[in-house]
């Protein structure tokens, strides 16, 4: 996850980050810079929104559901190169990364049980 954050911070990450949750979940909070494309709409809309030559990273709620996997499969079936952001939006704020929500961008302190506090990278 820290690699996704670091790449997004450059402004030219070399991939498209896709939040494949529904509208209510997106509005509640999402990764700034992510593209909202619900899984059910990928087959119909992906070609209009995402360059097939650019890799895609999918995310969903968290590791307790398979939403990112289902979205990755939908993109794969269309010929995209895909990875999943394991941890999803559940772990994103726990690592101290910003979340775009109805009140703007919010950032909270990293949880020391899920992230290296004081470091942008996990050294993995």
Query: What is the structure's pLDDT at 113?
Result: 83
Distance CA 25, CA 30 (A): 8
Given a cut of 70, whether residue 124 has pLDDT beyond it is: no
* Structure-model confidence comparison of residues 2 and 35, the more confident one: 35
Query: What is the structure's pLDDT at 123?
Result: 61
Q: Where are the domains of the chain?
A: 2-106
Share of residues in the chain with pLDDT > 90 (%): 82
Q: Which of 92, 80, 74, 82 is nearest to 33 (CA)?
A: 92
Query: What is the structure's pLDDT at 122?
Result: 59
Count the helices and strands in the chain (H runs, E runs).
5, 6
Secondary structure class of 40 (helix, strand, coil): helix
Mean per-residue pLDDT of the chain: 93
Residue appearing with tokens 């990764």: 31
CATH code assigned to 2-106: 3.40.250.10
Query: What is the structure's pLDDT at 120?
Result: 57
Given a cut of 90, whether residue 112 has pLDDT beyond it is: no
User: Tens digits of per-residue pLDDT, 42-96?
Assistant: 999 999 999 999 999 999 999 899 999 999 999 999 999 999 999 999 999 999 9
118 CB neighbour count, 10 Å cutoff: 8
């Amino acid at each position: 996850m820290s690699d996704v954050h670091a790449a997004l911070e450059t402004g030219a990450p070399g991939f498209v980050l896709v939040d494949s949750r529904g509208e209510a979940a997106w509005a509640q909070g999402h990764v700034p810079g992510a593209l909202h494309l619900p899984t059910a709409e990928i087959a119909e809309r992906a070609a209009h929104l995402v360059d097939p030559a650019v890799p895609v990273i999918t995310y969903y709620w968290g590791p307790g559901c398979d939403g990112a996997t289902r979205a990755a499969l939908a993109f794969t079936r269309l010929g995209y190169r895909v990875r999943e952001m394991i941890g999803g939006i559940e772990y994103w704020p726990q690592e101290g990364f910003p979340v775009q929500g109805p009140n703007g961008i919010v950032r909270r302190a990293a949880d020391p049980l899920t992230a290296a506090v004081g470091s942008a990278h996990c050294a993995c």
